[in-house]
């Protein structure tokens, strides 16, 4: 973890470290975690854990590099302001386009995932519905909450997060008790594992996206860098622990060979939950798992679309009146919902594309901004991430390699488990 180097003394804000850590953890953990066991099936458990550890470190460092830059500016400075002031107009535009793309493609991913898990839940009640229609219903219901107000999203998301925690530990706790260690350590199928790691890298990166919250934490805590660093570390570490437990629970209960069928069906959330449901000890625990999946994708959808909604309202100059919010809602929700109707099983593909854009704004741009800010503020005695320029180069290379892996996988030039 990064340390202070000649850090400036700042009075503590008195605000809870736990609050900041929960903001980071809540943003990081979401429906994207359902992609991890599916894309990790080829390399299986050992390599999946190694990949997560490496990605966690690189994403932690990129977040701290962003924080280093942010602390040179007044609290409240946005990601847009930071990129413009340090890297110039070109990178500001590149950064803005990549953020908008990530928010749009994730909205589509969660409509696809939401339709899949809602469909799975309805089938459990004996109700048959086309997945595209289930996705449409999912989008309309949750979009109406965003349309009402930010306060409505805040209250609903708080309730959902509480429900997620309870249902996660009930369902996953049981799965962890029931794991078959031989499934984790001696997987069936072919014995090739490491070649599948490269195509999975983008999905791991997408599972550690919290960087949009760093300016918010600076605004919240002021320039109390020590507390912000701890909040980022604790929040991302909680996410890492949850992901490791999730991989143990899924890979310890579903044989590696069975993932071939899950992937063949599109690898969507409902398919994975359906496979887990077959090994659950009781229908009640099965219901807890389904409820967790529904809450995870719904809270992820609300968090992402609220950010997209506010971003587009500012971009197009729509006001906060009823007609203004309706215009913003149409621009926000119609394009990804149409995609969800046309391509209902695009969850994994969309997460991969989100990772491709995230390599720019969450990895490469923060590293470049830190490098530039050290040139702009050479006399600064504030927080500086340890590792110097070599660490910045490492983070940039991580972003480039991950983006390249996604493009190569799309071109079928990397081995993919199927």
Dump pLDDT digits (tens) for 334-392: 999 999 999 988 888 899 999 999 999 999 999 999 999 999 998 888 899 999 999 99
pLDDT of residue 405: 95
Q: How far is CA 75 from the centre of its chain?
A: 25
Q: How many CB atoms lie within 10 A of CB 230?
A: 15
The answer to whether residue 237 scores a pLDDT higher than 90 is yes
The confidence band for 2, taking pLDDT boundaries of 50, 70 and 90, is very low
pTM: 0.86
Whole-number Å distance between alpha carbons of 40 and 248: 12
What the block records as the tokens of 81 is 């302001």
Q: What is the reported pLDDT for 240?
A: 95
Q: Return the minimum-mean-pLDDT range out of 10-24, 201-215, 347-361, 383-397.
A: 10-24
Contact 142, 301 (CB under 8 A): yes
Mean pLDDT in residue range 76-85: 85
Range name among 21-35, 105-119, 249-263, 391-405 with the lowest pLDDT average: 21-35
Q: Among 209, 195, 242, 194, which Cα is nearest to 399's?
A: 209
Query: Minimum mean pLDDT among 108-112, 151-155, 303-307, 382-386: which range?
Result: 151-155
Burial class (CB in 10 A: 0-12, 13-18, 19+), 326: exposed
* CA distances from residue 245 to 87, 239, 353, 399 in whole angstroms, order as listed: 39, 10, 26, 26
Residue appearing with tokens 């493009």: 407
What per-residue confidence (pLDDT) applies to 50? 95
Residue 170: what pLDDT? 86
Euclidean distance between CA atoms 184 and 46, whole angstroms: 8
Task: Using the predicted structure, report yes or no on whether residue 243 has a pLDDT greater than 60.
Answer: yes
What pLDDT sits at residue 367?
Answer: 96
Residue 8 banded pLDDT, cuts 50, 70, 90: very low
pLDDT higher than threshold 80 for residue 191: no
pLDDT at 9 over 60: no
**Hey, which of 58-62, 115-119, 304-308 has the most confident mean pLDDT?**
58-62
Predicted confidence at residue 14, as pLDDT, reads: 56
Task: Give the Cα separation of 325 and 331 in Å (integer).
Answer: 10
Which residue in 342, 335, 327 sits closest to 107, CA to CA? 335
Identify the pLDDT of residue 81.
Answer: 85
pLDDT at 213: 83
Exposed (0-12), middle (13-18) or buried (19+): which is 361, by Cβ within 10 Å? buried
For the stretch 296-335, pLDDT in tens is 888 888 888 887 888 888 778 888 888 888 998 999 999 9
pLDDT mean across residues, the chain: 87
Chain CA centroid to CA 79, Å: 18
* pLDDT per position as a tens digit, 282-295: 788 888 888 888 88
Q: What is the DSSP letter of 72?
A: T
* C-alpha–C-alpha distance, residues 195 and 43, integer Å: 7
Q: What is the pLDDT of residue 189?
A: 66
d(Cα 373, Cα 383) in Å, to the nearest integer?
12
Range from 1-5, 13-17, 282-286 that averages highest in pLDDT: 282-286
Share of the chain above pLDDT 90, in %: 38
């Amino acid at each position: 973890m990064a340390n202070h180097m000649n850090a400036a003394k700042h009075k503590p804000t008195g605000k809870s470290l736990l609050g900041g850590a929960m903001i980071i953890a809540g943003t990081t953990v979401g429906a994207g975690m359902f992609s991890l066991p599916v894309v990790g099936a080829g390399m299986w458990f050992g390599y999946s854990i190694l990949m997560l550890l490496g990605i966690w470190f690189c994403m932690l460092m990129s977040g701290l590099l962003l924080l280093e830059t942010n602390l040179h500016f007044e609290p409240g400075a946005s990601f847009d302001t930071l990129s413009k002031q340090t890297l110039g107009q070109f990178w500001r535009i590149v950064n803005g386009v990549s953020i908008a793309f990530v928010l749009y493609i994730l909205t589509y991913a969660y409509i696809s995932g939401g339709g899949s898990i809602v469909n799975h839940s309805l089938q459990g009640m004996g109700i048959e519905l086309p997945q595209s229609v289930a996705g449409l219903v999912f989008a309309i219901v949750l979009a109406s909450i965003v349309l009402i107000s930010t306060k409505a999203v805040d209250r609903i998301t708080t309730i959902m997060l509480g429900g997620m925690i309870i249902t996660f530990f009930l369902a996953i706790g049981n799965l962890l008790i029931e794991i078959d260690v031989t499934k984790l350590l001696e997987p069936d199928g072919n014995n090739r594992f490491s070649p599948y790691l490269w195509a999975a890298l983008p999905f791991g990166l997408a599972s550690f996206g919290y960087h949009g919250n760093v300016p918010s934490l600076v605004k919240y805590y002021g320039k109390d860098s020590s507390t912000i660093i701890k909040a980022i570390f604790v929040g991302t570490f909680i996410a890492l622990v949850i992901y490791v437990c999730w991989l143990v629970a899924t890979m310890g209960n579903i044989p590696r060979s069975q993932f071939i069928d899950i992937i063949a069906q599109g690898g969507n959330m409902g398919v994975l939950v359906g496979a887990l449901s077959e090994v659950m000890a009781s229908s009640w625990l099965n219901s807890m798992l389904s409820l967790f999946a529904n809450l995870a994708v719904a809270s992820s959808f609300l968090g992402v679309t609220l950010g997209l909604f506010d971003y587009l309202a500012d971009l197009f100059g729509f006001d906060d009146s009823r007609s203004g919010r309706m215009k913003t809602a149409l621009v926000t929700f119609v394009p990804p919902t149409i995609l969800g109707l046309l391509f209902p099983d695009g969850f994994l593909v969309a997460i991969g594309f989100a990772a491709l854009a995230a390599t720019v704004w969450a990895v490469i741009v923060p590293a470049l901004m830190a490098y530039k800010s050290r040139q702009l503020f050479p006399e600064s005695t504030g927080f500086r991430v340890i590792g110097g320029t070599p660490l910045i180069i490492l983070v940039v290379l991580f972003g480039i390699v991950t983006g390249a892996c996604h493009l190569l996988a799309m071109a079928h030039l990397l081995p993919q488990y199927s």
